[in-house]
Amino acid sequence: MNASEDKLAPAVRSILATARERSGGERRLDVDARSFPDAVAATAAAGRVPVVAEVKPTSPTTEGERTDDPVELATEMVDGGATALSVLTEPEHFGGSAENLRRVRDAVDVPVLRKDFVVREAQLDAIESDLLLLIARFLDEEGTDSLATLYEAARERGFQPLVEVHTRAELERALDVGAEIIGVNNRDLGKLEVDLGTFERLAPHVPEEVTLLAESGITSVGDVRRMRAAGADALLIGTAIMDGDVEANTERLTTVDAARASRAGGDASEATRTSTEPTDTTPRNTESTQ
Ligand SMILES: O=C(O)c1ccccc1NCC(=O)[C@H](O)[C@H](O)COP(=O)(O)O
């Protein structure tokens, strides 16, 4: 175990160990991806909040497992207004599978994210998807490929890489490889605690041209407003959608009156706020780091 792995929650260490062992695909993929930035722009233009709804049967922080057919759940999410879907493919800790992703992507026409823990190039070829998650914290470590290598390899295959970060240093690494889609995970993989302030601290350091997602811990209409006010182009929501009526939950969280505010203090392209509620669009302290 290396020093940075030692700081991970036991469940996450186990996820990473399993991910390292996983085999890759048999042939190099060539993906014709559905554009995520275009889908986000279309949703925003229609006056709704762009949400990536996650098919997440279970997780280390969830009690029990949802065993509904993933295709039914995915269809309900799209009917509820989801801009894109995230499908867990990690089997042991999240109850996912590559087959779930294949079936969901065949059944819907929105972009679909492969939500897995990819650490080596060959693993990119396991299954087609539109978006592909690369978690900065897990890469550039012993036994993994570098973020730069995986980012380029994913792009060459036609994937749209979503680079996930949690700290300022990880954000800089994402920007260094030229990431065009970045997700700030509010969940700390060390303690598995959620703090929406993570997104608020990092968002001012993200250039406007990047498509920026706020991930994890978004449970209420108030949280949606808070993340949009901090500059989120889109929100990745799992638990709050999976818990109960999936279509109604998705609709509730996508129809919030919450235009995105500028991340750098200037005018954001879609910041045509109609809400009468006071909203903080002040630029954040650019000195703050994590
Ligand atoms: O969700 C977990 O318990 C978890 C534990 C360990 C590593 C990753 C984990 N989640 C992965 C995710 O990124 C979330 O599923 C996703 O951001 C949605 O989060 P939420 O809306 O809080 O379910």
- Which residue's CA is minimally distant from atom 1 of ligand 1? 59
Give the pLDDT confidence of 150-189 residue by residue, as tens digits: 999 999 999 999 999 999 999 999 999 999 999 999 999 9
CATH T-level fold of 5-254 = TIM Barrel (3.20.20)
* Burial tier of 195 (Cβ tally within 10 Å: 0-12, 13-18, 19+): middle
Question: What mean pLDDT do residues 131-145 have?
Answer: 92
User: What is the model's pLDDT at position 248?
Assistant: 98
21-24: list long-range contacts, CB under 8 Å, 24+ apart.
22/123, 22/126, 23/122, 23/123, 23/126, 24/120, 24/121, 24/122, 24/123, 24/124, 24/125, 24/126
Name every residue whose Cβ is closer than 8 Å to that of residue 158 and which is 6 or more positions away in sequence. Answer: 29, 30, 31, 32, 33
Q: What is the pLDDT of residue 33?
A: 98
Q: How far is CA 197 from the centre of its chain?
A: 17
Mean pLDDT of the residues in the chain: 90
pLDDT at 283 over 50: no
Does residue 270 have a pLDDT over 60?
Answer: no
Place 1 in a pLDDT band, splitting at 50, 70 and 90: low
Give the distance (Å) from ligand 1 centre to CA of residue 289.
23
Report the first-to-last Cα separation within the chain, whole angstroms: 24
Coil, helix or strand for 35?
A: coil
- 115 against 267, higher pLDDT: 115
Residue nearest to atom 12 of ligand 1 (CA): 216
Contact 196, 232 (CB under 8 A): no
Q: What are the structure tokens assigned to 255, written together?
A: 């129809």
pLDDT tens by residue, 81-123:
999 999 999 998 999 999 999 999 999 999 999 999 999 999 9
pLDDT given at position 288: 37
71 burial (CB, 10 Å; 0-12 / 13-18 / 19+) is middle
Residue entry with tokens 């990819």: 118
- Of the two residues 25 and 282, the one the predictor is more confident about is 25
Contact 247, 80 (CB under 8 A): yes
Atom 3 of ligand 1, nearest CA residue: 61
| Percentage of the residues of the chain whose pLDDT score is greater than 90 | 77
Q: Cα–Cα distance between 120 and 244 in angstroms, integer?
A: 36
pLDDT band at 62 (very low <50, low <70, confident <90, very high): confident
Of 219, 257, 200, nearest in space to 49 by CA: 257
CA of 25 relative to ligand 1 center, distance in Å = 25
At residue 287, does pLDDT exceed 90?
no
What pLDDT score was predicted for residue 272?
34
Nearest CA, atom 14, ligand 1? 216
Distance CA 232, CA 186 (A): 12
When comparing pLDDT for 3 and 49, which is higher? 49
pLDDT for 276 equals 32
pLDDT in tens, 213-232: 999 999 999 999 999 999 99
Centroid of ligand 1 to alpha carbon of 50 (angstroms): 18
Place of tokens 């009690």: 63
Q: What amino acid positions are annotated as catalytic residues?
A: 54, 56, 115, 164, 185, 215-216
Counting ligand 1 atoms within 8 A of each CB, the residue from 59, 63, 133, 235 with the most, and so the one to mutate, is 59
* Ligand 1 centroid distance, CA of 105 (Å): 21
The pLDDT value recorded for residue 112 is: 98
Contact 132, 124 (CB under 8 A): yes
Helices (H), 27-97: 36-45, 70-79, 91-94
- Per domain, the residue ranges of the chain are 5-254
pLDDT score of 267 more than 90 = no
The whole-model pTM stands at: 0.91
Distance (Å) from CA 216 to ligand 1 centroid: 6
CA of 59 to the centre of ligand 1 (A): 7
DSSP, collapsed to helix, strand or coil, labels residue 258 as coil
Is the pLDDT at 266 greater than 60? The verdict is no
DSSP 3-state assignment of 114?
A: strand
Pocket, ligand 1, Cβ cutoff 6 A = 11-12, 54, 56, 59-61, 185, 187, 189, 192, 215-218, 236-240
Looking at ligand 1, which atom is closest to the CA of residue 59?
A: 3
pLDDT bracket for residue 2 (50, 70, 90): low
For the chain, what is the largest distance between any 2 Cα atoms, rounded to a whole number of angstroms? 55
pLDDT at res. 136: 97
Query: Mutation test of ligand 1: which of 7, 18, 56, 194 has the most ligand atoms closer than 8 Å to its C-beta?
Result: 56
- Of ligand 1's atoms, which has the minimum distance to the CA of residue 194? 22
More confident residue, 282 or 239: 239
What Å distances lie between residue 168 and 117, 143, 174, 206, CA to CA?
21, 24, 10, 10
Nearest residue CA, atom 16 of ligand 1?
216
Residue 274 has pLDDT above 70, yes or no: no
**What does the pLDDT read at residue 264?**
74
